[in-house]
Amino acid sequence: MKDENLIDILQLINTDCIGPVKFYAAVKKAGSIRNALKMVAQKRTLYSRERAQIECENAAKLGVKIIAYTNKQYPQNLLQLNDAPPVIYAWGNTDLLNYPVCVSIVGARNASIGGRKMASRIAYDLTEAEVLVVSGLARGIDAAAHKGALYAKGQQGPTLAVLGTGVDVPYPTENTELYNAVRDSGLLISELPFGTPAQVANFPRRNRIISALSDGTLVVEAGVNSGSLITAKLALEQGKEIFAVPGSPMESRSAGPNKLIKEGALLVENADDILNALSMRAGQQIKEQKTLLLPLDKPQNQVNISAHKEVSILTSEIPTENVRLIDMISYEGVDIDELLRSCGLTQSDFFAQILDLEFSGKVERHAGNKIAKIKGK
């Protein structure tokens, strides 16, 4: 059955020179979407109704939901924007659209290993604490944040990616596997029509959605003129919390976060800093973060990662337990579930160490739920 109201909205928003602001202005002036179409048709050629119908049909075939601003499923946080997208394309678990607590994690595309590990570690811990991690699926910090979230909850953690392309267009192509994983375990969304390729102008537009969906935005490594700082600026304008991971003043990728901290952003060393700030700010019921314990040389020694950064994920060194784990991984690849059963680690410890090995460049994921040692490492 055709949703004529949705087709009206698609027709109007996709008409040349009609962006979100003009869309809402036209609807307000005309009194309804149908009347707005008639009014706009007097001045310009409307987007084809047939093409709008085909867009809906393609969505149905793919299992993508096109959700209009008039739909109850539409994210309530987005409605606070004066340029909220009239429709969003959602592929995956649409229950995540109105998740109770969300934090966006953004940063440099050419991120350092340490920066990527920090983003993953925090994303993992936030997801374990029932906070949804939102990012943009870009290379670097974005990809690391999504990956950390996906590793949580026994490798079934949800995460939400806002794309600057059509929801059916993985970008960058190197993140195609990650794109598929986010779609399967979380949610991909975009305001752009199917097939829209990567275009420079679309990514700043994407950033306003990332910040609007979130209760706070964390910046991990970014230049002073980067898109990540644009996201932080938008979040600040929207009344959201701004978090930043500090870095060496000698490192250009630390300039952005350090600048934000000087201007009042909360300095973040671990997920607890974010969880505490969000709880105090809104009195939200956030699940207490479970302390992740990594076995060291002696089983009785237990170290809290949040308090001891020299351990595991926040360093480029591989702890003793990881060496033993990597010895169990072959170059041809082993099944992850079998490795978990045979290694003697808890799920939390296992996936934290696998993540550490992966970002240290020692192992890589293969199709069929396998992980393999990288030759020469």
Rounded to whole angstroms, how far apart are CA atoms 359 and 120? 9
User: What's the confidence (pLDDT) of residue 286?
Assistant: 52
Q: pLDDT above 90 covers what percent of the chain?
A: 63
Task: Please provide the average confidence, as pLDDT, over all residues in the chain.
Answer: 85
Q: Which two tokens stand for residue 28?
A: 């307000």
- Encoded tokens for 59: 């969505």
pLDDT for 222 beyond 60: yes
* Cβ-based burial of 236 (10 A; exposed 0-12, middle 13-18, buried ≥19): middle
Binned at pLDDT 50, 70 and 90, residue 280 comes out as low
Predicted local distance difference test score (pLDDT) of residue 345: 77
- In this predicted model, which residue has the larger pLDDT, 376 or 364? 364
Residue with tokens 């973040």: 268
At residue 104, the pLDDT reads 97
Indicate if the pLDDT at residue 56 is higher than 60. yes
Residue with the larger pLDDT of the pair 346 and 297: 346
Distance CA 56, CA 3 (A): 9
What pLDDT does 51 receive? 96
Return the CATH fold of 95-282.
Rossmann fold (3.40.50)
Amino acid identity, position 288: E
Say if residue 63's pLDDT is above 90. yes
DSSP 313: G
- What's the pLDDT tens digit per position in 110-120? 999 889 999 99
**So what's the pLDDT on residue 192?**
97
Say which residue, 30 or 323, is predicted with more confidence: 30
pLDDT of residue 372: 86
pLDDT in tens, 186-195: 999 999 999 9
Alpha helices of 70-140 — where are they, by DSSP H? 113-128
Please give the average per-residue pLDDT across 68-96, as a whole number. Answer: 96
Q: Look at the block and give the residue holding tokens 């002696």.
A: 298
Q: Which two tokens stand for residue 309?
A: 């950064």
Instruction: Let me know: does 127 contact 158? Beta carbons within 8 Å.
Output: yes
pLDDT digits (tens, 9 = 90+) for 141-176: 999 999 999 999 999 999 999 999 999 999 999 999
Q: Could you tell me which residue, 201 or 37, shows the higher pLDDT?
A: 37
Please indicate whether the domains covering 95-282 and 293-373 agree at the CATH topology level. no
* pLDDT greater than 80 at residue 247: yes
**Residue 267 to residues 120, 184, 263, 290, 294, Cα–Cα distance (Å):** 17, 33, 11, 21, 25
Phi and psi angles of residue 221, each rounded to the nearest 5 degrees, phi first: 65, 120
More confident site: 131 or 350: 131
Segments making up each domain of the chain, as ranges: 1-61, 95-282, 293-373
Whose CA is closest to 168, among 78, 55, 69, 71? 55
Does an H or E element contain 160, and which? strand 159-162
Specify the pLDDT at position 365. 83
Contacts of 155 (CB under 8 A, 6+ apart): 336, 351
Ranking 51-60, 321-330, 338-347 by mean pLDDT, the lowest is 321-330
| Prediction pTM value | 0.77
CATH T-level topology, domain 293-373: Arc Repressor Mutant, subunit A (1.10.10)
**What mean pLDDT comes out for the span 73-99?**
96
What percentage of the chain reaches a pLDDT higher than 70? Answer: 87
pLDDT of residue 328: 78
Instruction: Give me 264's structure tokens.
Output: 């009042």
Instruction: Scan for tokens 């600048």, then name that residue.
Output: 259
Tell me the pLDDT tens digit for each residue of 281-333: 544 445 544 433 222 222 333 323 232 222 233 333 334 444 468 877 878 78
Q: Stretch 21-34: mean pLDDT, rounded?
A: 96
List beta partners, residue 356: none
The answer to whether 195 touches 125, Cβ cutoff 8 Å, is no
